[in-house]
Amino acid sequence: MPERKSPRARFALLSAAAGFVLAAGGPAAAQSPTCEFSDSHFHLTNYIQEGPSPSEILKLTAGRVCRSTLFGIPLQQQWSYHETGDFAPSYYLEADAPLYYYSFVDAAIAMAYRALPAKDQAHFDPMITGFNPADMYAADHVRRVLTTFPGVFTGIGEFSVHKEFVSPKIAGGGASLTDPALDRLLDFAGEVGLVAILHNDIVRPFTKESKVRPYFDQLTALYRRHPGTTIIWAHVGLGRVVQPVKGMAAYVTEILDDPALKNVYFDLSWDELAKYVVASDQNTQAVADLINRYPDRFLFGTDVVGPRTTQAYFGVYDMYAPLWAKLTPDTREKVLKANYARLFDRARISVRAWERAHAPRVPAG
């Protein structure tokens, strides 16, 4: 009888086969030769699950974007007639009514992706977001989505643990950095090879500087518990009111210099982060110096939500222009294109291999 290979050995063979397909010019190889950047943080839909189609985004970006993540918002803003009457809120700051997890978002993203021709599918890396990270079943949701829609998703997120204004509004309560549910989720992401985009503020809003360290230690302890999971820390932990803390560069450098945290990356996304980076030439130079020292650990993302115009999409990229000018050519290429390709190509290979081992009739490519 032929030798029966172990599941681990079969998975390794499948990974190698998937890698050959991509190296031979499969979907991950496709991109415009004149494109300017890849978008590591892009929301197709908003807080009421509305937005343009992927094909409309391709027309809007007109070849300027090499590749892009594709995900919705996992949280739905409730329209409470008791509170706002006939006014229908479309953003979480427009109402006091709670937010709730909207799991259908993943099916909607998958169906929108599958409606594209193969050459356009190659442009996008869809992400799973419709899970509650405080739920021990979150990992099971991700597994179910992967086996229901094989050949589609590349990662999970953006999902939030602690986020200013948002966490207190979530029905049933927000997540925690020490919750076993979050560990189970990130363990599964590492097993499959999914990229995880995680939002967690570097400090709680309006908190004294003296309390940054304990909070930061909780976050880095989470990262350290999952060395096999590729994690992108969204916006480097900043937000509308969560400003750069004293010694911000030292906190980031602490992660960058720790071999146990080499799986952690940072996205330069959202106009709320850009405003701090370009607030002064001194700020911009300090950020550029840090990125030039660690060019392999940063990615650019727009973090725009359901854009309908060219200005709405490219406005964040343009805000960062002073930073791009201060990066070395090699660093700029990595931040805007190469780091994305490296992380997401690797994830595509791994996730497709896992699907072939766990889901029936996985499509090729």
> The domain that contains 248 carries what CATH number?
3.20.20.140
**Is 105 inside a domain boundary?**
no
What number is the average pLDDT over the span 68-75? 96
Summarize the chain as % helix, strand, coil (round to 5): 50, 15, 40
Instruction: State pTM to two decimals.
Output: 0.89
Domain residue limits at 271: 127-358
**pLDDT tens digits for range 155-175:** 999 999 998 888 888 888 889
Provide, rounded to the nearest whole percent, the portion of the chain with pLDDT above 70: 90
**pLDDT tens digits for range 182-209:** 999 999 999 999 999 999 999 888 877 7
**Is 72 inside a domain boundary?**
no
Our count of domains for the chain comes to 1
**Is 102 inside a domain boundary?**
no
**Is 103 inside a domain boundary?**
no
| DSSP symbols for 183-214 | HHHHHHHHHHT-EEEEE--SS-TT--GGGHHH
Q: Quick check: helix, strand or coil at residue 64?
A: coil
**Is 306 inside a domain boundary?**
yes
**Is 23 inside a domain boundary?**
no
**Is 218 inside a domain boundary?**
yes
Q: Check residue 128 and give its pLDDT.
A: 98
Q: Which two tokens stand for residue 227?
A: 């060395």
